[in-house]
């Protein structure tokens, strides 16, 4: 096969050549966009799913369709350690600039810039090496309290009013929302609540890991009335077959049915992995149809690639204790596991690894499907952990006292002295 004609391009956020099995998700998002633009109330969609299921691809597709429907849009990706206001300000400025029709700026657009300047006055924002600036004077009494919850709502309302003045609508599209701190998520929810109450043509469309739904509920109890949380999961076998077969068919090539079935078995229908297996299968095949033997060989190459990139970059962020925790979780299987069973595998009490578990959730490595359960956010990561760490971490020895009489020191299960005991 000519590698230049390879239709598959596995990568972060790359649109697959055939966006199979996502019609219903896109339809629901477009309905929300249409209703908001028409001045109707509608809950904002926040898509949730594991890594590699195509959430970013869907957000990009929604943005394209929103712009085709006359929306002004901005798209940002939340990052660990980057404050929400600093994340949003450059995009919000561009959103207002997009409402500049070349004629004299309307009063609402001008006010939007002033309100944005009020928010900017309380923080310092740099884009790359250049400090972010606005020439407009600040709007007194708006977005100048220093409290993000009220100030961000003022900014959203000002942008919504500017959209009304311009006869358009605006969409703020945000990825990786699970990285927002609770106070920041609370401010974002309050801003969405405010524009919903005033029925302004501004909508938030977002995506994040599965914990996002629970995070919003903890941030604001009324979040479930503002948002819907469409689940983005693995493709059904029929849709996975379409995602593989149609792109190669366009190049005059086919997969055999057995090859499609084996690819689905190995990838479990996760879109990113389908692209990886499809790409490797194309490069290994010498003729059409691509058969079972080629797919099996492609699986070896795909796993090697994933181990060196997709999985490895996540593994390298972990501390030794975090790696031990995930290895114990992997030993128990790929389904959600009870926290107590993971701790027992490590030879410690549940409460001693609770901070470790919280840190891994914060890093986006695991999530809690329900109270007390723990699961990987990255599909097939359990298999990777077993490959890269063939041996289970040795259970920690139980606590023991040092000394026979008088005050003594107690060693923690992790090997350090933790407290004095009388």
Looking at the predicted structure, is the pLDDT value of residue 414 above 50? no
Distances in Å between the Cα of 168 and the Cα atoms of 57, 152, 157, 164, 172 are 25, 21, 14, 6, 14
Strands annotated E in 195-304: 202-208, 227-228
Residues in the chain: 422
Least confident window among 73-82, 107-116, 240-249, 323-332: 107-116
Strands annotated E in 353-395: 366-367, 373-376
% the chain with pLDDT above 90:
68
CA distance 321 to 327: 10
Looking at the predicted structure, is the pLDDT value of residue 95 above 80? yes
Looking at the predicted structure, is the pLDDT value of residue 125 above 80? no
Architecture of domain 317-388: Orthogonal Bundle (1.10)
Q: What's phi and psi for 409, nearest 5 deg? A: -105, 140
Please tell me what DSSP assigns to residue 354: H
Looking at the predicted structure, is the pLDDT value of residue 417 above 80? no
CA distance 352 to 302: 37
Beta bridge partners of 367: 375
pLDDT bracket for residue 193 (50, 70, 90): very high
Instruction: Name the CATH code of domain 235-308 (choices 3.30.70, 3.30.67, 1.10.3470, 1.10.8).
Output: 1.10.8
pLDDT tens readout for residues 324-376: 999 999 999 888 999 999 999 999 988 889 999 999 998 999 999 888 899 99
CA distance 308 to 306: 5
Looking at the predicted structure, is the pLDDT value of residue 133 above 80? no
Tally the C-alpha atoms within 13 A of residue 236's C-alpha that lie toward its C-beta: 5
Please, are residues 54 and 26 in contact by the beta-carbon 8 Å criterion?
A: no
pLDDT given at position 140: 75
- How many helices (H) and strands (E) the chain has is answered by 16, 13
User: What's the fold here for domain 23-228?
Assistant: Rossmann fold (3.40.50)
pLDDT tens readout for residues 210-231: 999 999 999 998 898 899 999 9
Distances in Å between the Cα of 414 and the Cα atoms of 232, 345, 349, 400, 418 are 38, 14, 11, 12, 9
Give the residue ranges of DSSP H helices in 76-130. Answer: 84-97, 107-121
CA distance 191 to 385: 41
Closest CA to 394 of 335, 334, 321, 332: 321
Give the number of other Cβ atoms within 10 Å of residue 340's Cβ: 12
In a 3-state reduction of DSSP, which class is residue 126? Answer: strand
Tokens 């099996």 belong to residue = 296
In a 3-state reduction of DSSP, which class is residue 417? Answer: strand
In a 3-state reduction of DSSP, which class is residue 204? Answer: strand
Q: Counting beta carbons within 10 angstroms of the beta carbon of residue 331, is it exposed (0 to 12), middle (13 to 18) or buried (19 or more)?
A: middle
Looking at the predicted structure, is the pLDDT value of residue 302 above 90? yes
CA distance 278 to 417: 53
Please, are residues 73 and 61 in contact by the beta-carbon 8 Å criterion?
A: no
CA distance 201 to 224: 20
pLDDT bracket for residue 102 (50, 70, 90): low
Sign of the CA dihedral 265, 270, 276, 278?
positive
For the chain, the helix, strand and coil percentages under 3-state DSSP, each to the nearest 5: 50, 15, 35
What is the mean predicted confidence (pLDDT) over 41-45? 93
Q: Mean of the per-residue pLDDT values for the chain?
A: 88
pLDDT given at position 381: 95
pLDDT tens readout for residues 374-411: 999 999 999 999 999 999 888 766 545 444 444 444 44
Strands annotated E in 23-121: 44-48, 71-77
So where are the chain's domains?
Answer: 23-228, 235-308, 317-388
Closest CA to 245 of 272, 293, 277, 270: 277
């Amino acid at each position: 096969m000519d590698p230049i004609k390879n239709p598959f391009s596995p990568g972060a956020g790359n649109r697959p050549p055939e966006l199979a099995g996502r019609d219903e998700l896109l339809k629901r998002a477009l309905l929300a966009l249409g209703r908001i633009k028409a001045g109707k109330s509608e809950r904002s969609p926040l898509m949730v799913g594991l890594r590699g299921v195509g959430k970013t691809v869907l957000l990009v597709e929604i943005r394209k369709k929103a712009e085709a429907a006359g929306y002004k849009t901005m798209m940002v990706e939340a990052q660990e350690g980057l404050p929400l206001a600093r994340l949003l300000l450059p995009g919000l400025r561009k959103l207002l600039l997009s409402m500049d029709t070349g004629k004299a700026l309307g009063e609402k657009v001008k006010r939007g810039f002033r309100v944005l300047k009020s928010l900017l006055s309380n923080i310092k924002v740099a884009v790359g090496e250049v400090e972010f600036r606005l020439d407009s004077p600040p709007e007194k009494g708006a977005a100048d309290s220093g409290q993000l919850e009220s100030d961000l709502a003022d900014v959203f309302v000002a942008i919504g009013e500017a959209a009304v003045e311009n006869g358009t609508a605006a969409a703020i599209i945000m990825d990786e929302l699970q990285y927002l701190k609770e106070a920041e998520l609370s401010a974002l929810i309050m801003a969405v609540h405010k524009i919903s109450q005033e029925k302004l043509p501004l909508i938030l469309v977002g995506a994040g890991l599965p914990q996002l739904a629970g995070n919003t509920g903890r941030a604001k109890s009324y979040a479930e009335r503002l948002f819907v949380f469409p689940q983005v999961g693995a493709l059904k076998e029929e849709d996975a077959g379409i995602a593989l077969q149609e792109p190669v068919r366009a190049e005059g090539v086919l997969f055999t049915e057995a090859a499609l079935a084996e690819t689905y078995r190995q990838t479990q229908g996760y879109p990113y992995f389908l692209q990886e297996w499809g790409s490797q299968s194309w490069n290994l095949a010498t003729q059409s149809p691509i058969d079972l033997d080629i797919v099996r060989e492609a699986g070896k190459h795909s796993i090697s690639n994933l181990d060196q990139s997709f999985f490895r970059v996540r593994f390298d962020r972990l501390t030794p204790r975090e790696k031990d925790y995930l290895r114990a979780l992997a030993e128990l299987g790929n389904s959600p596991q009870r926290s107590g069973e993971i701790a027992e595998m490590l030879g410690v009490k549940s409460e001693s690894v609770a901070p470790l578990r919280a840190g891994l959730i914060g890093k986006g490595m695991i999530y809690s499907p329900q109270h007390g359960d723990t699961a990987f956010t990255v599909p097939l990561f359990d298999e990777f952990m077993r490959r890269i760490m063939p041996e289970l971490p040795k259970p920690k020895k139980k606590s023991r006292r040092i000394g026979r009489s008088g005050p003594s020191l107690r060693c923690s299960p992790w090997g350090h002295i933790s407290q004095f005991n009388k």
